[in-house]
Amino acid sequence: MIRACLFGAYNAAHPATRSLTAALVAAGCEVRECHEPLWERTRDKMAGYFGARSLVRHALAYLRVAVRLTRAWRRDPSAEIVIIGFNGQLDVLLARMVAGRRARLVFAPLVTLTETLVDDRKVYRRGGLRAGLSRWLDRRTLEAADLVLLDTETHRQYVRDRITARARTATLYLGAHRSFRPETPRIRAAGDALRVLFYGQYVPLHGAHVIVEAAALAGPDAGIEFTMIGTGPDRQAAQELAERRGCPHVRFEDWLPFEELPARLRECDVALGIFGLTPKARMVVPTKVYQAAATGRAIITGDTPAVREVFTPDQDILLVSRGDPGALVAALRRLRDSPDLGPRLGRNAGRLLAEHLDPRAQGARVRALLGEAFPDLADRMHVKTTAHDSEPASA
């Protein structure tokens, strides 16, 4: 069995981290955690979070974290593979320093700083000093890893074209946590309103304003009800837009515990993905889309190359033009007026996840990727049939 260590101040609660951990265990790795929480303490990272004073405070906090992580690693340096997850850019450099070249370093960033802070949120001006520093840090961390796991082929191409072609990269689609299952989903009765659910952190790639504008076009008497869960940079603007456009059929809620999301998905008829026009929006398959698919819900999201890598339009998902409220409301009316369409899409999406992106399949994919990158370890990995029920040990 291969000894692996999840190392750093990565966001341990993020769905991407949960999925990666399950896949590692299913691939035949004995996984332990060497983790210090830092970035996950702030759920909604507004523009001020990336300001100069805030960055200085967080740099000092990370230095303290780095000391504790170094001590924890030295107490047990036996890991043969060191895994760095979401938000782990600084962790890559620290891990390379403390573990040296003996341990193989695998980085699963989910996002780069450049695409998030420059291309998507536009916190840093493209061509400016801070944008340049972000790209420099991205390049350093990607090239320092022995293997970089990216979530789509479109994203992988972006990294090669925009940041560095020198990093060794591979694609690992995320899938959904095992708690998202199609257990007794809601069946819409004749005359019932179509229940539409969105949840997220209200960042530009989500296009929350598109959802509100679609609700306004539909009108409060269309038999379509919207629930929008979450907080983030664009939440207030979306809520104010709903008030201006007269949308009493749009309900806003704050975050709820992760454990309650599967039940909320099963109570809805349609789950919404992302509709923004930013470059990042075309590169990702949002975790909410995977989760809705695993729950057997009908899904509408923006038409992007990344989504088409996994899903087939009109077979297991409905795709609409990004940034187009009219296209979104037309798709919602189609589901409202075709009672059999939503359940059929949901069944197909659930089957797709169960057959190709469940923990066993993910484990086989991770095993193949690690075996290709590190041939000397390949013979010691095996896919477990029940490994996804295990949890990593903490350091």
Find, among 36, 44, 34, the residue nearest to 61 by Cα. Answer: 36
Contacts of 337 (CB under 8 A, 6+ apart): none
* 389 confidence band (pLDDT: 50, 70, 90): very low
Task: Give residue 10's pLDDT band: very low, low, confident or very high (50, 70, 90).
Answer: confident
Beta-carbon-side half-sphere exposure of residue 233 (alpha carbons within 13 Å): 16
User: How does pLDDT run across 232-259, given as a tens digit for each residue?
Assistant: 999 999 999 999 999 999 999 999 988 9
- Domains of the chain by start residue, with CATH: 2-174+358-394 (3.40.50.2000), 194-354 (3.40.50.2000)
* pTM score of the predicted model: 0.88
pLDDT > 90 in the chain, percent: 63
pLDDT at residue 60 is higher than 60: yes
340: Cβ contacts below 8 Å, ≥ 6 apart: none
**pLDDT value for 68:** 94
Per-residue pLDDT tens digits for 72-104:
999 999 999 999 988 888 999 999 999 888 889
Q: What angle do CA 336, 298, 277 make, to 5 degrees?
A: 95
Q: Are 144 and 93 in contact (CB under 8 A)?
A: yes
